[in-house]
Structure formats: C-alpha cells, structure tokens
C-alpha cells in the first residue's frame, strides 16, 4: 500500500462505453489505483448534477464522469447533455469553492481499457496534488459553533448579563 | 414474499476460484456485510455463478425468506442475467437483485489487497443499501420480425444469408459493389488445401441469387437505421446501375457494343501505375484516367474494362452495370449508344437515380469485411516507384486463370521472373502502421510461393518475422513448402532497392533484410517482389460502426460483446458480426463465424420475442408540471405533450432507457426503473461511507 | 386563560416580509385571531423572552418561525420555541432553505464583518470598533449575540415539522396551513405545505413554451427586452419555474419577471439549483465546448442564479473556503 494519501473518487460510468472499458481494463489485467468507486448508469446523460454534488457533499475528493465519445453515444446524444451540464457544473462547483479539477469528464469507448487506466491514474494524481476535500469534515468544522451555545446559556444562568 | 415490509437481504461474495480471492479478502467482505442493516445471510462461495452457487441463493431465499439479493462477483454485463434468473426461480422478483463488480473493477486491476478489499466492501455496501430501494419490475416482451439484414456480400455475408434463408428466414443482403463475392472471389486457390476459390464460392453465390428467401441488393448501401432489436427499420439506398435489373439477362452483348475500345490483358499494363497512383491519391475514389485505360478494379487494375461492364464473368447478379464516371452517354450525353442498340431487351435506362428502400428486420449481421493495407504508406518498399513490386492481391489476380494474365506470372516485359521475393508483415505487426498480426498473410504468402513456383519455377524468398501457421493442415503446408525448396529468411525487410552493388544485382530489385537466424544483413536480388499486405478495417468503418451503434476495438475492427463468450454479438442487441470486419481471419474462421452469427440471429428470431430490460422512464402525471423541459431531449421522440392533461407523457415502448430526461426533469417527476434517484443516492452515500 | 390553541411567531435572519405576509391575510386575519391565541409575536405584540421561558414545554400548539439562523440569539430562541411547541413550522424561504441571508455563505464571516464595519463606503468607523460579545462596565456584564460562521436553515438547528415556502409565503398558503392545523388532520411530518408540482403548472406562459428549446444564449432580464407573454426560457432568460414549487400563483411571471425560485424544490428534488442547471444545460443548443462556454457566459454567477434562496439548504451549504 502506498504511503501517499489515496483520494476517494466517485465514478459515474455509462453502461455502454466507459463501464465496458473498465471491464476491459480488468480483463486485460491492467493495474491502476483503487481510488475510483464506480456507479453504473445507462448513459452519461443520466448523470444528474445532484449526483455530483451529493458525491462531493458525501466526502468524495473527486468525481469522474465517463461517457461515450461524441457521436458514439449509445443513445445518440446523451453525452452531449452530459458535456453541457459538465461545463456549467465546473463553474458551479468553483462558485462553491471546489477546485474544478476535482470534476472530470472523459470520453472512453468500450475498447479503451488503457484509457480507463490512464485517466484514473492521472486523476488520482491530480486530486492527490489538490489534497483531501472532505466536505463532511468541513461541515463538522462549521457546526462546532453550535455546541458552544449550551455553555453560553449555562454561563448566562450563573451570571445574568444586563443590557 | 415481502412480508410486513421487512427488508431481508442475502449477500453473496464470490471467490471466482482465485480470481477475486487472491486479491480481495473475501471472507472479510462477507463478514463485514453480515453486520449491515437488513442483511440476513452473508456468505462467500468459490464460484457463485456455478449451479451450486445459484442453488445456494435459491435455497436461502426460501429458507430465510429473503426479499433482496446482492451478489458481489464479476461484471454485471457478464452474469447479471444469470443471477436475476436464479432469484426469479426462487419465486422472488428478479429485479430485487443487485450485482457488485469486484473482479473486473477490483481484483483484476488492483494489487494491494488491503485497498482492494476496502473498495470491494464499499461497493458491496453501496449495493446493499441500493437494493433496499429496488422495486419489482416486469420485463416487456417485444415481438421479433422474422427477417434479417445482412450488410456485406463477401463469403461471410453469403454464408450467413444462405444459412438463414435455408432456415426459412427472410434475408436482405446488401452489397456495396456490383457483385457479391468480396475478396474471396478474387482468389485463385485457397490454402492449405489449394482448392479453387471460384469452384467453392461461385456455387454459393448462385444459390444466393436463386434463393427465394433472399433479396439481394448490390450497388446499394444501408444509410439509416432506426428501431431496436426485434424491430429495426433500415434505409437502403440503391445506386443506379443504369440497367434495369429485371430485364438484363447478362448476355453481355452490350459490352461488346460499347464504343469505348480497350486493349486486353497484359498489354494494357500502362494503366496500372496510373491506377495505383490514382488509388493512393484519391484514397479509393474512382480513378480519373483516360476512358480507354479504365482499370478493372476487380483485377486490381491489372486489366482494363469498359464503361459498360460486369466485374467478372461469374458475378452475381449477372447484370451489367454502367460506370457513370466514364460512360460517354452519362458524362456528355453524346454517344451513339451502341450498347442500347445491342440490347435486345431494352434494359438500359440512363435516367436512373438513387432509389430508397425501407425495410424492417429483427436482426442485423454486419459483414462488411476489410481492406488491404496500402503499401504506398511504406516509402522504403517503393510500391509506387518500382513496377515489379506487387501487392499480394495483385499477384492473386495474376495467378488466377481467369485473371488479367490468364494465370501467367509475368513481369512488365512479358518475361517470367526467375526469382521472387515475398515480404511478410507489410503494414502488420509494425508500430508505425498496424500493431496487429493480420493472421492470414503467412499462409497466403506460402500459397503464393507455391503457386508462383509452380507457374514459373522461380526461386522464392520469403522474408518473415515468424511463420504463423496455426490451423488445421497449416503447419504441414509450411513443411511442404520447405520441402519444395522455397527459401525462408527470418527478418523484416528493411528496404527494397533498385541500385545494384554487384553484378548479380544488376537489373534486379534487392531486398535488404537482416537475417536474424544467420546474424547478418542480406541483400537478396530478385526479379519481382510480392508485398504481403495486412488487413485493415474499411476506411468507412467508423461510419458503419456509428450507423449500427456498435463499438470498435483499438485497431478499428468492430468489437464483439465478449471476446470469449459472445464473439459474434455486439453491445447493440440484435446486431451481430461476421468475418473480417471484426478482425483479420481466414476463410474457414470467417465461415464458422458467419454460421455463428446466423445461428445467433436465428435463435433470436425462433424465440419470437425478446424481453426488454425494464429500465424505461415514466412520468407521474400527478407530479408533472408540464414544463416540457424533457420533450426535446429524447432522441427517440418517446416523450410527447398531452394537451388535455397538460403534462408530458413517455411512451415506454419507444423509451430506450438512457435516463437523460430523468436527470433533466427539474421537478424530479420522471423516474427511471432500475436507476431511480433514491437508488443512486444510496449508492453514492455508501461508496463514500467509510471516508 | 383561553383554551384556543396557542400560536407563536418569531423572526430570525429575515427582512420582515414574512411578518408582512401575515398582515396580507387582510380580513382573514380576523379568522385567525378568532381561532387562535397568539402568545408570542415580537413584531406585533409585547411579549418577552421570559414569558416564553415561563411556558410549559409543548404548551404552544404551533410556532411559525421565519428567517434563517445566523446568530446565537436566533439559535437560542428557536431551540426554546422548539421545546415549547408541539409543531414548528419553518415559515418562508429563509427558514426553509436559508433565503437571501444565506447568500452570505458564499463569503467568509470575517470578510462580511470587515466590509460591514470598515470597508463599506457608507461606514465611518475611524476607531475600527467592532461589536464585542461581552463588555464589562461598572460591574455589569453586557453581552451581544455571536455572529455564526455560517447561515443555517431552521431545519439545521431544530426539528421542523412543516414548511411554508416562499419569499414570502402567499397569504393563501398561510390561511390553508392554519386551517389544516386547526383541523387536527395533520399531514405527515416534513410536509411542505404547498402544491408538489412545479410553477409551470400555474404559469400563464406555459403554453408558449416550445417543446424543443435549444437555447443558444442566456440573457438577463435587465439587459434584454422581455416579451410579456412568452415563456422566459423561450427567450433565453433563466426562469427557475420548472424547478420551483407552485403555490405563489406565478406572481413574478405575471409581473413580467422570471421566477427566481423562492418556493424551493418539489419533494422529489434534493438540490433545486442542480436540478434547474441540469434541465437548462441539457436544453442548450451548442454541442462543442467552445459554443457551450460561450452560451454559459450569460450566467456569470451560477450559484447566485440557481441558489438565490437555497444556498444554506443546498447540498453544498455554502462556499467551502478554509
């Protein structure tokens, strides 16, 4: 096991191209880091931006969307919809303070097992350079202030303040 | 089954022999999952997909009243159906099942056992939480049309067509060229038995012509495809041949009558260079050569033909065609039209234009074949410069008794070559061009070596990387050639030169090759060189692939669904592959594959129906605001606006289940079976739960 | 003591518009006053914190709380009201999803204080005074509430039973809510007391929305002529209507302004902004990256556009600066 911090990346792979390519990478016994947890969808067009935010909010350090190459979508144009959403999502997450490099869209055809490996290696490294995102921890940090109220109230009971 | 709403999950994790177990700590996965909420049974087993493995699931469903099942093993693309069926056999709805891919996506790609096990646990946990949200679903049955479209009329397409037609299936065979027969029709003999290609092929071509169940459309192309497995709608464009097919009887009198004169045979070789050049310049487009020097494509340009022609005497259909690029009447409108005069049946029609046929078929076999590597791309072989450098296919024609030279191997000066070099692996096994082995070149090189030697008595030098003769009787054929005195030099030819360095090399072509067995560089002077060009995907394979919604392998050959278990299926249900469009192969393999493709199509058709994956989307009319955001997004026009109810409605028979509209519905009113938001949210949460 | 159900109203970080909306009940307010006993409503009636403290836990039937939660005082008050109330209703966008105050979650707390007490052009504060949490003078201790690091929704502080969405909620929804509460026939916990359909359902422009949009570019209402009849999306103007609950009677679109999303998402959507983004982007015309980026220039601030009322309640809650 490498000593380096390993990010957790949620992958949304389309059934026809990228998921199959990941299967091919497996059949070909290519080796890549165990950083991407793949969720299979029928099409990259099914990737609801809510899924992306949910993944970040849930603790993902990165999100990788894999679809068929433009023109090759099994459902004709789902990948274009994914591309358009992706472009806006990059702007959106930047607005929320998330480096847009944590979100990646790749066209990986069923034959490109090699590309699955390369993309996962690249993205792992890229996210490693950015460091952990860990939104749940950020939220926990924000919410530490909530516990302070109890003490405040206790103090108030002991020594009432006057305005 | 679902008593009082209690969730009772059975979790099974597979060792897959040692495929998974070697890397993933399978017992630990089972143990961890046994503690997950709702999990009643958690087991690991050597081979979950085996009969006892499936029986284990079935028994547990009965014994433990399971109402959800999760199996962590290989890719769902491989065994999801297997387990769903097992779950169904036990009386549970098959869609109360979820599969976790811990082989292709985990044990085969990760080396660190700890990391792999953690990933396997995360993925398993996601599936366990997901499956809670599963709902019982019904598969939809779709009737299958009892007809098949076969694209490509080479030996693969022909064989598939005949098999299916014999079984009573209506076949549409669409061929781009004027005749069926493909590459095989050009060959003289076939290895290793040396039986005559025409003798085995032309009877099959004739059968195609005569078969009542086969509609043959040559000079035609499939330009559009719609629909889905069981009910494809294909558009076929039939290009004009300017001859009425139903009237022409193939008497060929019109060819005789055509005013354009050609010189026959070898004396017309002047056109070859022009042909080659034009072929390389225009990338396969019709060569722009003088009318009188019209190269015959079927003879690889080694002979000429007229604007009115038939590709070769045994062509099917036996109907002449007019080449609009060279016919004086079509080009200039000024021709005596002696061809028309000659035609007793008045079959000519110069006003013909493209016509379109729309057909409905249940399945499709793609058998679009290959193209040979263009040796112009390797400048050091000087295919363009030296007249005595030929491609193997050109020599195939030359050696063919019905070919341009009547079966004589002769050089441009009319002499027989005394020595011939055969260069293997031209464009194959070469990182600069194509990395793959074209599989057939070693054997056809041996065949040509044998034939050339037989015809000319010349010394033959085979320069090879390895001899690859893995087939029935192939190695024996190689032995026979060795015994016949053919020379074999192990080494890739670096260069073909025409400047002599010794008396013996004068007036010859010299092969410069490192003899890797002897350990020095040889210079082999020969009269003639044959380039054993490799096989490549067709130039338009990209368009074909998109048209039929199939994938390509790295080299551009069409991708089979599974390299071992589904070698003729594609990721597009109902579309099958046969022949070299899937990868280089010899005739026996092509025929075997064509038979397999026919069998797959027949199996589909014989069942009469197909069960569609129920992953369709639907809109709850109580929830839809009628914002219409989804309507324009559907590529299948499956969504329409119900003016009366003021909501959008999805026609589930048209929906193919991509889920694009589901993701887009701004009020969350569209649901996709098998991929519901709740299910995916659960997965997202749980794959991240350990973080 | 009256035996009419006791009702409390409280405001937190809000503009006061929600309080106004109660008055907007007009003569219907008489019906409310007749049927309930208002025991706490700082804006209108002189009750003190200690009055509420003195009440028994659970003695208030329902507390209507508007505004987001930004200070310890607000936090303390809503925690107290929660204890004293059987039902807590998040009233209005701010309480439900953070509302306009939650846009502050896109800035650091320190940056806000710096601007408000020092940098804003209207501020004159030569000594650089900042409010102190605690001041001791003459043996007295004076305290001020603490300004939290982030704005929160009511639901992020206390358990909320029902939500009344809107900026502000329409009087109609309020009246219906009161009737439901008085009827005793309570809907399931967590219900948003508004129609669970998107705004398009009641928008007069719905019919003009084309089935295929293919949006080429986005325009903003202030820099483009706005057709008073045509669907805003058909004009390339971002309208949150398709992703926003109905219930307002399409007030904004009737006023020739696009919906900005104050009624929040439907029950089936977790993150309103992501959903409208998804829908609008899918309906873009360009297919190439450059064309898409160009089209997106019309939405320079996606968070502010898609989450105007929902930053605190969104999946991201705010800007994740460290």
Q: Report how far apart, in Å, the C-alpha atoms of B603 and of each of A59, B346, B596, B610 are.
A: 48, 45, 10, 11
Note the pLDDT of residue B509: 96
Q: Specify the pTM.
A: 0.82
Judged against a pLDDT cut of 80, whether residue B507 lies above it is answered with: yes
| Nearest C-alpha in C relative to B669 | C268
Q: Distance between CA atoms of C147 and C149, rounded to whole angstroms? A: 7
B565-612 pLDDT, tens digit per residue, is 899 999 888 999 999 999 999 999 999 999 999 999 999 999 999 888
B527-557 pLDDT, tens digit per residue, is 999 999 999 999 999 899 889 988 888 788 9
Residues 56-85, chain A: which have Cβ within 8 Å of B? 58-60, 71-72, 74-78, 81, 85
Please tell me whether residue B182 adopts helix, strand or coil conformation: coil
A124 interfaces chain B, CB cutoff of 8 Å: no
| Nearest C-alpha in A relative to C138 | A162
Distance from CA of B686 to the nearest CA of C (A): 16
Residue A60 has a CB neighbour count (10 Å cut-off) of 29
Judged against a pLDDT cut of 80, whether residue B281 lies above it is answered with: no
Note the pLDDT of residue B280: 52
Residue B263 confidence class, pLDDT cut points 50, 70, 90: low
Distance from CA of A18 to the nearest CA of B (A): 11
Chains that touch B (3 or more CB pairs under 8 A): A, C
Q: Report the range of poorest mean pLDDT among A19-33, C5-19, C62-76, C135-149.
A: C135-149
Which residues lie closer than 8 Å to A151 by C-beta, 6 or more apart? Answer: none
Please list every residue in chain B whose beta carbon sits closer than 8 Å to the beta carbon of residue A34: 106, 109-110, 112, 115-116, 118-119
Q: Would you call C242 and B624 a contact, using CB atoms and an 8 Å cutoff?
A: no
Residues 54-83, chain B: which have Cβ within 8 Å of A? 75-78
Select the more confidently predicted residue: B268 or A107: A107
In chain B, % of residues over pLDDT 70: 95
Q: Report how far apart, in Å, the C-alpha atoms of B99 and of each of B73, B91, B103, B684 are.
A: 7, 18, 11, 15
User: Average pLDDT in the B500-526 region?
Assistant: 95
Check whether the bond before A27 is cis (ω within 30° of 0).
no
Residue B388 confidence class, pLDDT cut points 50, 70, 90: very high
Distance from CA of C278 to the nearest CA of A (A): 6
Judged against a pLDDT cut of 90, whether residue C17 lies above it is answered with: yes
Q: Would you call C278 and B664 a contact, using CB atoms and an 8 Å cutoff?
A: yes
Judged against a pLDDT cut of 80, whether residue A155 lies above it is answered with: no
B459-496 pLDDT, tens digit per residue, is 999 999 999 999 999 999 999 999 999 999 999 999 99
A100 interfaces chain C, CB cutoff of 8 Å: no
Kindly report the average pLDDT of chain B as a whole number: 92
| Nearest C-alpha in A relative to C305 | A92
Q: Distance between CA atoms of C65 and C92, rounded to whole angstroms? A: 8
Measured between CB atoms, which of B628, B641, B668 is closest to C269?
A: B668
Residue B2 confidence class, pLDDT cut points 50, 70, 90: very low
Nearest by Cα to C272 from C237, C306, C236:
C306
Select the more confidently predicted residue: B52 or B553: B52
> How many Cβ contacts (< 8 angstroms) between chains A and C?
119
Please list every residue in chain A whose beta carbon sits closer than 8 Å to the beta carbon of residue C293: 87
Burial B347-356 (b: 16+ CB within 10 A, else e): bbebebeeee
Distance from CA of A48 to the nearest CA of B (A): 5
Measured between CB atoms, which of C206, C212, C243 is closest to B666?
A: C243
C275 interfaces chain B, CB cutoff of 8 Å: yes
C74, C137, C282, C291, best to mutate vs chain A, most A CBs in 10 Å: C282
Phi, psi of B222 (to 5 degrees): -80, 125
User: Average pLDDT in the B643-666 region?
Assistant: 94
Nearest by Cα to B204 from B154, B142, B168:
B154
Given phi > 0 = left and psi -120 to 50 = alpha, else beta, which region is B194?
Answer: left
Give CA torsion, residues B410, B414, B415, B421, to 10 deg. -40
Q: Distance between CA atoms of B382 and B389, rounded to whole angstroms? A: 7
Q: Distance between CA atoms of B494 and B504, rounded to whole angstroms? A: 20
Chains that touch A (3 or more CB pairs under 8 A): B, C
In chain A, % of residues over pLDDT 90: 79
Q: Report the range of poorest mean pLDDT among A50-59, B212-221, B652-661.
A: B652-661
Q: Report the range of poorest mean pLDDT among A61-65, B552-556, C119-123, C262-266.
A: B552-556
Check whether the bond before B192 is cis (ω within 30° of 0).
yes
B344-362 pLDDT, tens digit per residue, is 999 999 999 999 999 999 9
A56 interfaces chain C, CB cutoff of 8 Å: yes
């Amino acid at each position: 096991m490498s000593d380096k911090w390993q990010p957790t990346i949620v992958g949304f792979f389309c059934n026809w191209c990228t998921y199959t390519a990941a299967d091919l990478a497996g059949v070909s016994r290519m080796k890549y880091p165990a950083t991407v947890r793949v969720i299979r969808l029928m099409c990259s067009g099914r990737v609801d931006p809510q899924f992306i935010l949910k993944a970040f909010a849930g603790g993902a350090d990165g999100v990788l969307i894999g679809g068929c190459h433009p023109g090759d979508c099994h459902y004709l144009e789902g990948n274009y919809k994914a591309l358009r959403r992706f472009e806006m999502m990059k702007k959106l997450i930047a607005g929320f303070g998330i480096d847009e490099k944590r979100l990646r869209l790749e066209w990986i055809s069923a034959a490109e097992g090699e590309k699955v490996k390369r993309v996962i290696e690249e993205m792992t490294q890229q996210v490693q350079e950015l460091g952990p995102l860990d939104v749940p921890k950020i939220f926990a940090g924000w919410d530490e202030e909530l516990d302070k109220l109890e003490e405040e109230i206790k103090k108030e009971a002991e020594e009432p303040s006057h305005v | 089954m679902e008593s009082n709403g209690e969730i009772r999950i059975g979790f099974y994790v597979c060792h897959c022999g040692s495929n998974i177990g070697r890397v993933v700590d399978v017992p630990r996965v089972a143990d961890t999952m046994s503690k997950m909420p709702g999990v009643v049974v958690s087991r690991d087993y050597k081979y979950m997909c085996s009969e006892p493995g499936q029986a284990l699931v079935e028994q547990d469903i009965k014994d433990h009243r399971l109402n959800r099942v999760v199996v962590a093993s290989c890719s769902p693309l491989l065994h999801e159906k297997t387990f769903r069926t097992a779950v169904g056999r036990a009386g549970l709805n098959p869609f109360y099942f979820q599969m976790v891919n811990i082989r292709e996506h985990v044990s085969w790609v990760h080396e660190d056992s700890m990391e792999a096990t953690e990933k396997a646990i995360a993925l398993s946990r996601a599936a366990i939480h997901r499956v809670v949200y599963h709902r019982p679903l019904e598969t939809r049955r779709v009737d299958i049309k009892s007809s098949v479209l076969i694209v490509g009329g080479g030996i693969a397409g022909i064989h598939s067509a005949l098999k299916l037609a014999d079984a009573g299936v209506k076949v549409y065979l669409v061929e781009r060229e004027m005749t069926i027969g493909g590459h095989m029709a050009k060959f003289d003999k076939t290895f290793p038995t040396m039986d005559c290609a025409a003798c085995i092929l032309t009877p099959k071509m004739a059968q195609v012509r005569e078969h009542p169940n086969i509609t043959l459309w040559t000079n035609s192309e499939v330009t559009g495809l719609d629909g889905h497995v069981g009910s494809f709608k294909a558009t076929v464009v039939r290009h004009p041949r300017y001859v009425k097919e139903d009237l022409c009887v193939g008497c060929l009198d019109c060819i005789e009558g055509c005013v354009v004169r050609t010189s026959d045979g070898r004396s017309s070789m002047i056109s070859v260079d022009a042909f080659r050049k034009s072929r390389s310049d225009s990338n396969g487009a019709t060569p722009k050569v003088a009318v009188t020097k019209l190269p015959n494509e079927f003879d690889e340009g080694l002979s000429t033909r007229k604007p009115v022609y038939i590709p070769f005497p045994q062509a099917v259909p036996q109907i002449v065609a007019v080449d609009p690029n060279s016919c004086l009447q079509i080009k200039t409108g000024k021709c005596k039209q002696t061809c028309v005069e000659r035609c007793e049946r008045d079959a000519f029609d110069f006003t013909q234009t493209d016509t379109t046929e729309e057909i409905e078929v249940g399945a499709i076999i793609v058998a679009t074949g290959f193209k040979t590597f263009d040796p112009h791309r390797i400048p050091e072989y000087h295919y363009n410069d030296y007249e005595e450098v030929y491609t193997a296919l050109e020599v195939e024609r030359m050696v063919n008794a019905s070919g341009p030279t009547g079966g004589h191997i002769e050089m441009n000066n009319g002499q027989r070559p005394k020595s011939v070099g055969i260069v293997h692996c031209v464009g194959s096994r070469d990182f600069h061009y194509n990395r793959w082995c074209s599989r057939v070149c070693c054997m056809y090189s041996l065949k040509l070596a044998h034939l050339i030697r037989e015809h000319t008595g010349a010394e033959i030098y085979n320069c090879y990387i390895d001899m690859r003769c893995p087939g029935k009787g192939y190695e024996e054929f190689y032995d026979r050639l060795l015994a016949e005195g053919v020379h074999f030099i192990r080494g890739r030819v670096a260069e073909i030169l025409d400047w002599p360095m010794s008396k013996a090399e004068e007036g010859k072509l010299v092969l410069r090759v490192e003899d890797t067995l002897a350990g020095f560089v040889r210079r082999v002077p020969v009269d003639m060189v044959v380039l054993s060009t490799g096989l490549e995907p067709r130039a338009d394979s990209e368009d074909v692939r998109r048209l039929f919604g199939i994938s390509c392998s790295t080299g551009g050959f069409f991708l089979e669904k599974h390299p071992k278990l589904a070698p003729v299926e594609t990721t597009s249900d109902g579309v099958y592959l046969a022949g070299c469009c899937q990868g280089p192969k010899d005739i026996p393999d092509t025929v075997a594959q064509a038979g397999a493709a026919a069998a797959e199509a027949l199996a589909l058709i014989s069942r009469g129906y197909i069960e569609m994956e129920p992953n369709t989307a639907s809109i709850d009319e109580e929830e839809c605001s009628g914002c219409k955001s989804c309507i324009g997004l559907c590529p299948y026009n499956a969504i329409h606006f119900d003016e009366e109810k003021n909501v959008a409605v999805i026609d589930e028979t048209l929906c193919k289940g991509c889920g694009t509209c589901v993701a887009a519905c701004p009020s969350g009113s569209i649901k996709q079976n098998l991929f519901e938001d709740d299910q995916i949210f659960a997965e997202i949460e749980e794959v991240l739960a350990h973080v | 003591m009256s035996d009419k159900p006791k009702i409390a109203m409280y405001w937190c970080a809000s503009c006061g518009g929600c309080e106004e909306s109660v008055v907007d009940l007009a003569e219907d307010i008489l019906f409310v006053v007749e049927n309930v006993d208002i025991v706490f409503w700082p804006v209108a009636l002189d009750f003190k914190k200690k009055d509420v403290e003195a009440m028994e836990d659970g003695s208030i039937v329902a507390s209507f709380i508007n505004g987001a939660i930004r200070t310890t005082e607000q936090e303390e008050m809503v925690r107290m009201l929660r204890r004293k109330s059987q039902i807590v209703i998040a009233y209005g966008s701010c309480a439900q999803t953070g509302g306009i105050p939650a846009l502050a979650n896109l800035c650091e707390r320190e940056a806000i204080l710096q601007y408000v007490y020092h940098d804003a052009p209207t501020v004159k504060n030569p000594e650089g005074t900042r409010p102190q949490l605690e001041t001791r003078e003459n043996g007295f201790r004076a305290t001020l509430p603490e300004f939290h690091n982030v704005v929160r929704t009511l639901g992020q502080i206390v358990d909320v039973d029902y939500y009344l969405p809107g900026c502000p909620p329409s009087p109609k929804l309020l009246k219906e809510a009161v009737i439901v509460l008085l009827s005793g026939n309570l809907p399931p916990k967590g219900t948003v007391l508004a129609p669970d359909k998107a705004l398009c359902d009641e928008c007069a422009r719905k019919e003009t929305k084309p089935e295929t949009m293919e949006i080429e570019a986005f325009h903003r209402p202030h820099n483009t002529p706005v057709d008073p009849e045509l669907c805003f999306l058909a004009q390339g103007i971002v309208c949150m209507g398709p992703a926003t609950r109905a219930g307002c009677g399409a007030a904004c679109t009737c006023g020739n302004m696009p919906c900005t999303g104050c009624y929040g998402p439907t029950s089936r959507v977790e993150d309103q902004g992501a959903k409208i983004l998804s829908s609008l982007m899918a309906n873009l015309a360009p297919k190439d990256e450059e064309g898409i980026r160009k089209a997106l220039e019309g939405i320079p601030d996606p968070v502010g556009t898609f989450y105007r009322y929902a930053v605190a309640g969104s999946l991201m809650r705010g800007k994740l600066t460290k």
